[in-house]
Structure 1
Amino acid sequence: MSVSKIYQTFLRKFPILSQAVQAGALMGAGDFIAQTVVEKRPMKDYSLQRTAQFTSIGFFIAGPTLTVWYGFLAKRFGSVGGGSVALKKMACDQLLFAPCFIVVFLTALGLVQRKPLDSIQKDITRDYKDILITNYKLWPPVQLVNFCFVPLQYQVLLVQFVALVWNTYLSWKTQSSH
């Protein structure tokens, strides 16, 4: 059996777990890239703990949440229908999901970093607007393509590959002012 067939079978049988593993791996990879390429940290200063924190957010929060969210959008608007369906899904995703999920992400990151709640609130106040604006520069066209052309079971995967860049940005942005 080919790797592709094994992946498709696993995705069909265990959709949330599959997406959780993908999201965790790609969020961890994004943090690794942020530390080693963007921040140019030498390996002796590399924080495995930070990468583990990002990986855990991807595995426990981002992957499962995105899987359920895309399933909801497919049920609400349909999984086919061309541009108008894709536009409705993208609008919902960017106007409802993204602003809320950024808060969830920043809160989860603060919690895994064991920050006090007042510090998490300060981080959200400091970073939220910039992250949301950057989100709107990247994600609307990606999501239009995703919702228009990509089958539902592969939508989280496509988003997670684009999110490798996004996760690198998030890691850098949330750590850059510390």
Structure 2
Amino acid sequence: MVIRHGTAALSRIGRRHPFLFGVAMSAIKTSASDFMAQTVVERREQVDLRRNLIFCTWGLLYLGGVQYFIYVHLFARRWFPDAMAFAAKSWRAKLADTAGQRTVLKQVFLDQFVHHPFILFPAFYQVKEFIEGGTPSEGWRKFRQNQVEDLKLTWSVWIPVFLLNFSFSPLWMRVPVVAIVSFGFTTALSCLRGAPEQ
């Protein structure tokens, strides 16, 4: 009963304030992911607050803000306006709608093979270097050095997730779905890239 009321309340907030809901959820989730990586996975006795600030800032500004603009305004409203109608269809209708299936594939392709490699990861390394006191050129060098490994991890998680997200999520749930799945992904990314790199 309590869970049902809590879920209904979150749904109401998400529908009324989708941007703020997505930004807040992304910031909290990303900070919590790094906290879990440091305390549970790496078993650190003290949390590296600088590192946690990197992930909290990343969650707030990029995962919540920029991705809201990409997934809601660009993908769903401007570039693929029929996407939400496809997401609302029944399974049977989705299976018969080949144009809608192609739209999902186009969204996944743009997200995973354009957005992530050319925008998301370069931006992540710039935020990380800024907070660590490095330079933009150092951020770019680290991005290029880690690009193949980062993208392999990304594609193994996000291609299947976005196939489902773009097929079934209502507009207001797109960023929160990313935030929920991203908890585990960000924990792995924090373990892989959270510590300062030489």
Please give the TM-score of this superposition, normalised by the length of structure 1.
Answer: 0.89
The answer on whether the counterparts of 1:85 and 1:148 sit within 8 Å (CA) in structure 2 is no
Of 81, 103, 115, 2:122 maps to: 103
Distance 2:133 2:85 in 1: 43
Which of these two proteins has the greater Rg computed from alpha carbons?
Answer: 2
Distance 2:115 2:140 in 1: 20
Displacement of 1:177: 6.7
Distance 1:56 1:162 in 2: 18
Say if 2:131 is the partner of 1:126.
no
Distance 1:32 1:165 in 2: 12
The Cα offsets for residues 43-96 of structure 1, whole Å up to 9 and x where unpaired, read as xx2212321221111112210111111111112222133423222211111122
Displacement of 1:16: 1.7
Unaligned stretches of 5+ residues in structure 2: 87-93, 95-100
Distance 1:177 1:129 in 2: 19
RMSD: 1.9
The answer on whether the counterparts of 1:103 and 1:128 sit within 8 Å (CA) in structure 2 is no
* Alpha-carbon spacing, 1:68–1:118, altered in 2? closer, same or farther (3 Å): closer
Who is 1:155 aligned against? 174
Displacement of 1:110: 1.4
Distance 2:113 2:138 in 1: 26
* Secondary structure, counterpart of 2:85 in structure 1: coil
Q: Which amino acid aligns with 1:66?
A: Q
Q: Which amino acid aligns with 2:38?
A: Q
* Alpha-carbon spacing, 1:176–1:47, altered in 2? closer, same or farther (3 Å): closer
Displacement of 1:27: 0.7
Q: Which amino acid aligns with 2:122?
A: V
Distance 1:56 1:177 in 2: 16
Q: Percent identity of the aligned residues?
A: 25
Who is 1:3 aligned against? 6
Q: Which amino acid aligns with 2:132?
A: Q
Distance 2:196 2:59 in 1: 22
Distance 2:187 2:102 in 1: 31
Say if 2:94 is the partner of 1:93.
no
Please give the TM-score of this superposition, normalised by the length of structure 2.
Answer: 0.80
Unaligned stretches of 5+ residues in structure 1: none
